[in-house]
Amino acid sequence: MSETTFRSAERKSPGENQETVTGSSAGGVAQFPARRSVLAVDDEENFLTLLNWFLTQRGYQVYTASHVDEALRFARERTFDIALLDIKLGSGNDGMFLLDELTQRLPGIKVIMMTAYPTVSAITRAFDKGASRFLTKPVDLQELSEAIKTLL
């Protein structure tokens, strides 16, 4: 029996309000979105460069890692609002292992899993482990942007 593949999937949960930072200007008080942090983990350096550029242009503070150990080091040093995790990370531990570690260390983190090889079992496993969204590679950047906005 072959498994069905998906373009994207989302775990249903209540939305959260986005934090804002209040500042003053000549015309009165202005509301600015708080700068959100994103941890992007993928073993494809070109894709990480693209994600870094794309998300930085949209006001996010982006940290990139190409392997699990580097991502866990970042998670020990700071917290993140969103993590973008590739399931297959070359040799060693994979994105599912990292999903477990991040959700244990950073209970409030929202995780978007990404893979070029989506299967029902992978999607189910990711959601069971705490993922909020699941996107298929190549990732549509507009879809990613909307997914992040929805989760924050």
pLDDT tens profile 105-125: 999 999 999 999 899 999 999
What contacts 52, CB < 8 A, 6 or more positions away?
A: 40, 62, 64
The answer to whether 114 and 88 are in contact (CB under 8 A) is no
Residues of the domain holding 85? 35-151
Look at residue 8 and tell me if it is in a domain. Answer: no
Distances (CA, A) of 123 to 3, 29, 53, 72, 112: 11, 44, 27, 22, 11
CATH number, domain containing residue 78: 3.40.50.2300
What contacts 129, CB < 8 A, 6 or more positions away?
A: 96, 99, 100, 103
pLDDT tens profile 14-64: 333 333 333 333 444 444 456 899 999 999 999 999 999 999 999 999 999
Look at residue 115 and tell me if it is in a domain. Answer: yes
Look at residue 126 and tell me if it is in a domain. Answer: yes
Distance (Å, rounded) from C-alpha 55 to C-alpha 40?
10
